[in-house]
Amino acid sequence: MKMAFMDYETTDLPVWGKPSGDDCQPYMVSAAVIIRDNSQVIAQYHDFIAAPVESAPKAFEAHGLTKAYLDDRGTDMVQAAKDITALVQNCDYLVAHNVNFDKRILRISIKRFLDDDTAEKVKRIPHYCTMKACKDMWGLRRYDKGGTLDDCCEKLLQMAPREGPHGALEDVNRCLALYDELVRLGHGPRPIEVDG
């Protein structure tokens, strides 16, 4: 089973009530994707992305990336969208901690820089959320506290919580480790049903 583990840092939160193609939607500023086929890593992507706007204060607090830094070191937004889409579009599952956020951010980028058909194809890829799996395992409801990536990694992997900004590469590696532990504990994704 081919899985894309992904984490995206952005200029702001998505505007959930607006379409993914709307101009008000945020931009990626950092992206990390790890592709695994069963347990073997077969491809990886990590880059900073030159967004055309400053990050909102809460987003900056989370990732610490300034527009000047991204202008200097970030890759082109269109190229990043192409590279990431090429990696994930043929995967069996998309995996993230708070997968609805990361999947939406990916769709926003694809709609903005590539095309609607590809965005819809990616939207239909089954997904698995490590945050939801942890909350379900612990009997927590959707909006209960206790499901951050640090919370889950501390409880299941004995990883110390982090202080200050964090990055997409560190987060995707933590998500992958958390996924492996959830699978070991019997809380992995359900097999994909194939017609035939």
- Cα torsion angle, 138, 139, 141, 143, sign: negative
pLDDT score at 194: 42
| 123, 136: one domain | no
- Has residue 42 got a pLDDT over 90? yes
Q: Mean pLDDT across the stretch 134-161? A: 89
| 73, 123: one domain | yes
Q: Mean pLDDT across the stretch 12-37? A: 96
Q: Mean pLDDT across the stretch 48-54? A: 97
| 166, 72: one domain | no
pLDDT score at 102: 97
Query: Does residue 189 lie in a domain region?
Result: no
| 93, 53: one domain | yes
**Which of residues 129, 160, 176 is at a domain's end?**
129
| 171, 90: one domain | no
| 29, 111: one domain | yes
Domain range spanning residue 97? 2-129
pLDDT score at 143: 73
The number of angstroms, rounded, from the C-alpha of 70 to the middle of its chain's C-alpha atoms is 19
- Has residue 166 got a pLDDT over 50? yes
Q: Mean pLDDT across the stretch 54-75? A: 96
How much is the pTM? 0.93
Domain count, the chain: 2
Which strand ranges, in their side-by-side order, compose the sheet holding 127-129? Answer: 40-48, 28-37, 2-10, 93-96, 127-129
For residues 145 and 151, the model is more confident at: 151
| 13, 105: one domain | yes
Q: Which residues of 88-102 are buried (b: 16+ CB within 10 A; e: fewer)?
A: beebebbbbbbbebb
| Residue 19 pLDDT level (bands cut at 50, 70, 90) | very high
| Residue 192 pLDDT level (bands cut at 50, 70, 90) | low
Q: What is the pLDDT of residues 133-143, one digit of tens each?
A: 999 999 888 77
